[in-house]
Chain A
Amino acid sequence: MPTVETPILDETIVDKYEERRANLVPILQEIQSTYSYLPEELLRRVSRKLHVPLSDVYQLATFYRCFSLKPRGRHVVQVCLGTACHVRGGPKILDRVETETGTVGLGTSPDMEFVVETVRCLGCCGLAPVMRVDRDIYATLEQSKIKRVLNRYRKKRPAGKDASDG
């Protein structure tokens, strides 16, 4: 089973922030977006630097949905389960995504390519059902389209709908 490389941790991410409690969530957000998870080492550093008890930092890291303590799959698939998407077949799309990626329930797929999450909501309710893969949003989905969409991301570096970055 492929593993995600252990990242070399850049501690300046933490150090460049002022020692204010209000910076706690922004720091974690930056760490999350840089490494796609929150490495334990960096969280301990945050606790020391901001003089916030480790149990508080840990509580924050586990309370907010956008944080992950474990490395996640390379591509983040968020299936929208907002009310409009629910009424227009969102749960069936989720089932199909889980089947196609091989995840059992939510989480990272066995090949570490995808992490399947739900989100409520992305704000594209007029075009339900909707899902987001990395930064791309796909609307008016049908079960038959899922495989094709996911295949665009397999074996590619995290990128956009086309080959170019961003």
Chain B
Amino acid sequence: MVERVHHITDLEELERVAIHGRASLYPERIKILVGMATCGRAAGAEEVLEKVREVVAQKQLPYIVAETGCIGWCSQEPLLDVWVPGRPRVTYGRVTPKQVPEILAALPEAKPKLALAIMTGDDNPLTGKHADYCNGHGSKVDGLPSYAELPLFRRQLRIVMRNCGIVDPASLEEYAARGGYRALWRALWSLKPEDVVREVTDSGLRGRGGAGFPTGRKWQAVRDAKGSPKYVICNADEGDPGAYMDRGVLEGDPHSVIEGMIIGGYALGAHEGVIYVREEYPLAVARVKAAIAQAQHADLLGDDILGSGFGFRIEVAQGAGAFVCGEETALIASIEGRVGEPRPRPPYPAEKGLWGKPTCINNVETWATVPVIVSRGSAWFSRIGTEGSKGTKVFSLVGSVANTALIEVPMGTTLHDVVEEIGGGVPGGRAVKAVQTGGPSGGCIPAEKLDLPVDYESLNAAGSIMGSGGMIVMDDHTCMVDIAKYFLDFLQDESCGKCFSCRVGTQRMKEIVTRISEGKGTEQDLDLLEDLAWMVSETSLCGLGVSAPNPVLSTLRYFRSEYLAHIRDHKCPAKVCKELITYTIDPVTCNGCGACVSLCSGQAVVGEKNKLYTIEQARCTKCGACLESCKFDAVLVN
């Protein structure tokens, strides 16, 4: 899609651009929107989009075909939305190319059997306005719930994700139509830099990258620091496995981060910014680079932004495959062309950061929140959330949950509500065993504690951390010893290796937990594990090491009995740890169909077709393919 190039030098021009955006966002014609973020593509959205274009071209339909980012309904990807002027927007889920002609043929009517929900309007927390789509026809479509009614969406308050799934991320005009760059105008023209810092401080915003450090305090420290030039960095090295909030924002609404950074630069007296994106997110990198180029052409980045005289430039730096580069000093080292080895703090980056100069590093979500705070004010923001944790948080709710999704809720929502109400609980009616938060730096919250509110202090007290927002729901198919081993494996892989405590400590912890998972552990091993964990946490050089023992310690705290079962009884209650389980075929239910034979990786399934098969234990690799392929529940795991 080719957009006009604008030169936005004042508010009037910005308004004119916004008018174009509104015409594109809420057109007079029918518009088909396909969710084209990475998870959509992984589910097959590219083929769906192609099919839409093909049908539209073939039949010469006067429809607009557009792409959008992630609305967060991941379990239903690929998502296709239909906008008919004056009617609710209809969302179709799990769309296949085969369904496309049918959906298009029915227009302007919907096909409720294939659809998921309707959107009767949208809220814009940036402007505080609500857009009503249905000022003509009725606001109902037979049998379809509205987003406002759905448990998945009705508790959400989408501040950071305000435009994701609504706008075309490649459109500066649509971003402007949603109020974009007005906060920047307000900051540059109506506020002094100190005022901006004060707004952010009074809002109570805490860094969304994981540590939850008060953003205003960090900004003030950078302002006060001596040295120039100053830098502003966006940490988009989202490395926590299971977390993809930043990806959602960068792919769905890159301008929100850009606007936030320019405002930050103005507040802190910095004229250069860097967005550091991990290389595992090529689409996010592409979207951000395109948005920066757009902003540059529109003079929203450059030497004289919106006629204010303030200049700001943004560069994109790519990660190279190192989780540790999410640590701020390692990230800085990476930009400087060095290995991502963290440096001791103090001095903190606010004092000595990029190239030894005062640097403000914040996470993607934090930057995306800044325009909203500047626009609506700190008082408005601080009314959301709890006393110690203001505002909203984006979470990637994944694992054993019906609605795997990217959600944004006010701080203080209980874990129970997130998992059961918003997430729809564990599929198949199974019970939640634990919820893992904070990635490899966090811990597992057991089912008994799910009524705790999601905020920084409560999660810390429970032995976990908020972290970047990854929330993994686990049921009783998950072995907590295996989870501890998994995270230790990860940390060992990703440790930079410089300091002895972390490098050798995580290695030894992993050795012990592996022994336990194989049924060869002793109870002294648990004491040793606790000593090791204490040492690694107390003496490591950087946050990765300091928090490395958290998964082990939290699983030991809440699931000690599971460890003891592995040690004393040589059993894995969840039937996960390979050395402690056996796969067998039930002679009663097996009907000899042979589906398991070809997939067996050890050629261990022997027997006669249409009669009975058995598994030769000596050759069984515990790959589990037989269990996966058996339609008769004849494969048993003990």
Alpha-carbon separation in the docked complex, A99 to B621 (Å): 11
Give the residue of B320, B490, B625 whose beta carbon is less than 8 angstroms from that of A25. Answer: B320
User: Contact between A83 and B439 (Cβ–Cβ < 8 Å)?
Assistant: yes
A26 with B472: CB separation less than 8 A: no
Q: Is the CB of A87 within 8 A of B321?
A: no
| Distance of A128 from chain B, by nearest CB (Å) | 7
Known: A29-B318, A126-B74. A22 touches B335 (CB 8 A): yes
Asked if B323 is at the interface (CB within 8 A of a chain A CB), the reply is yes
- How would residues 235 to 272 of chain B score, 1 for a CB under 8 Å from any chain A CB and 0 otherwise? 00011111110010000000000000000000000000
Q: A95 touching B623 by the CB < 8 A rule?
A: yes
CA distance A107 to B162 in the complex (A): 42
B42 at the binding interface (Cβ < 8 Å): yes
- A-contacting residues, B38-52, CB 8 Å: 38-39, 41-43, 46
Interface contact A96-B320, CB-CB below 8 Å: no
CA A81 to CA B323, docked complex, whole Å: 13
Chain B interface residues toward A at CB < 8 A: 38-39, 41-43, 46, 74-75, 77, 238-244, 247, 279-282, 317-318, 320-323, 334-340, 396, 398-400, 404-406, 436, 439, 470, 472, 474, 477-478, 486-487, 490, 493, 496, 599, 601, 621, 623-625, 628-629
User: Shortest Cβ distance from B394 into chain A, in angstroms?
Assistant: 13
Does A105 belong to the interface (CB within 8 Å)? no
Given A83-B436, A121-B242, A137-B42, A25-B621 contact (CB < 8 Å): no
How distant is the Cα of A137 from the Cα of B247 in the complex, in angstroms? 15
Q: Which of A28, A81, A123, A127 contacts B404 (CB 8 A)?
A: A127
Residue pair B628, A143 in contact (C-beta under 8 Å): yes
Asked if A92 CB lies within 8 Å of chain B CBs, one says yes
Identify which of B320, B337, B477, B625 contacts A67 (C-beta below 8 A). Answer: B320
Contact call B322/A64, Cβ cutoff below 8 A: yes
Considering only residues 84-134 of chain A, those with a C-beta below 8 Å from chain B are 84-89, 92, 95-96, 99, 119-128, 130
Which residue of chain A has the shortest Cβ distance to B325 in the bound complex?
Answer: A64
Q: List 25 A-B contacts (CB under 8 A).
A: A21-B337, A25-B337, A26-B317, A29-B320, A59-B339, A64-B321, A65-B322, A82-B241, A83-B472, A84-B241, A86-B486, A92-B623, A96-B623, A120-B239, A120-B490, A121-B280, A123-B280, A123-B281, A124-B74, A125-B243, A125-B244, A126-B398, A127-B42, A127-B77, A139-B42
In the complex, the answer to whether B334 meets A121 with C-beta atoms within 8 Å is: no
Total contacts A to B, CB within 8 angstroms? Answer: 162
User: In the complex, how many angstroms separate the beta carbon of A117 from the nearest chain B beta carbon?
Assistant: 9
CA distance A132 to B496 in the complex (A): 25
Report yes or no: A66 in contact with B279, Cβ–Cβ below 8 A: yes
Of A20, A52, A127, most buried by chain B (CB within 10 Å of CB) is A127
Query: A23-B337, A96-B623 known; A83 and B247 CB under 8 Å?
Result: no
A60 within 8 A of B: yes
| A123 surroundings in chain B (CB, below 8 A) | 38-39, 238, 244, 247, 280-281
Contact of A26 among B243, B318, B474, B624 (CB under 8 A): B318
Residue on A with the closest CB to B316?
Answer: A26
Identify which of B239, B400, B406, B493 contacts A87 (C-beta below 8 A).
Answer: B400
Asked whether any CB of chain B lies closer than 8 Å to the CB of A150, the reply is no
Question: Could you tell me the distance between the alpha carbons of A66 and B237 in the complex, rounded to whole angstroms?
Answer: 14
Which single member of A29, A67, A138 contacts B42 (CB below 8 Å)? A138
Cα distance A42–B628 when bound, in Å?
Answer: 47
> Contact: B404 with A139, CB < 8 Å?
no
Which chain A residue shows the least CB distance to B41?
Answer: A137
What's the tally of chain A residues with a CB closer than 8 Å to chain B?
51
Residues of the B chain whose Cβ atoms lie less than 8 Å from the Cβ of A143: 599, 623-625, 628-629
* In the complex, A135 has a CB within 8 A of chain B: yes
Contacts of A85 in B (CB 8 A): 241
Partner of B241, one of A21, A23, A67, A121: A121
How far in angstroms is the closest Cβ of chain B from A153? 17
Query: Cβ of B74: which chain A residues have Cβ within 8 Å of it?
Result: 124-127
Q: Shortest Cβ distance from B170 into chain A, in angstroms?
A: 17
Known contacts A137-B41, A137-B42, A128 near B334 by CB under 8 Å: no
Chain B hits for A92, CB < 8 A:
623-625
- Contact call A96/B601, Cβ cutoff below 8 A: yes
Q: Measured between alpha carbons, how far is A60 from B243 in the docked complex, in Å?
A: 26
18 A-B pairs besides A82-B242, A83-B398, A121-B244 with CB distance below 8 A are A21-B338, A25-B334, A26-B317, A59-B339, A83-B486, A86-B241, A87-B400, A88-B399, A92-B624, A95-B621, A120-B241, A122-B38, A123-B280, A125-B244, A126-B75, A126-B405, A143-B629, A144-B628
* Given A142-B628, A144-B599, A28-B320 contact (CB < 8 Å): yes
Identify the closest chain A residue to B75 (Cβ): A126
The verdict on A24 contacting chain B, using a C-beta distance below 8 Å, is: yes
The 0/1 profile, CB within 8 Å of B marked 1, for residues 57-70 of chain A is 00110011111000
Which of A22, A65, A120 has a CB less than 8 Å from the CB of B336?
A22
Query: A161: which B residues are within 8 A, CB to CB?
Result: 46
Cα separation A125 to B496 with both chains bound (whole Å): 25
- Give the 9 A-B residue pairs with the shortest CB-CB distance, closest first: A126-B74, A65-B321, A82-B241, A123-B244, A24-B337, A64-B320, A126-B404, A137-B42, A83-B242
Closest partner residue, chain B, to A137 (CB atom): B42
In the complex, what distance in Å separates the CA atom of A52 from the CA atom of B625? 50
* In the bound complex, CA of A64 to CA of B621 (Å): 32
Given contacts A92-B625, A124-B38, A144-B629, contact A22 B320 (CB under 8 A): no
Whether the Cβ atoms of B472 and A84 lie closer than 8 Å is: yes
Most buried by B among A28, A82, A123, A124: A123
B626 to chain A, nearest CB (A): 10
CA distance A147 to B298 in the complex (A): 49
Task: Give Cα A104 to B630, complex, Å.
Answer: 27
Contact: B625 with A96, CB < 8 Å?
A: yes
Query: Which residues does chain B contribute within 8 Å of A59, judged by CB atoms?
Result: 339
List chain A residues, Cβ under 8 A from B474: 87
Decide: A124 and B621 in contact? CB cutoff 8 A.
Answer: no
From A25, A95, A120, A137, B38 is in contact (CB under 8 Å) with A137
By a CB distance below 8 angstroms, the chain B residues around A29 are: 279, 318, 320
Once the chains bind, are B398 and A84 in contact (CB under 8 Å)?
yes
Contacts of A139 in B (CB 8 A): 39, 42-43
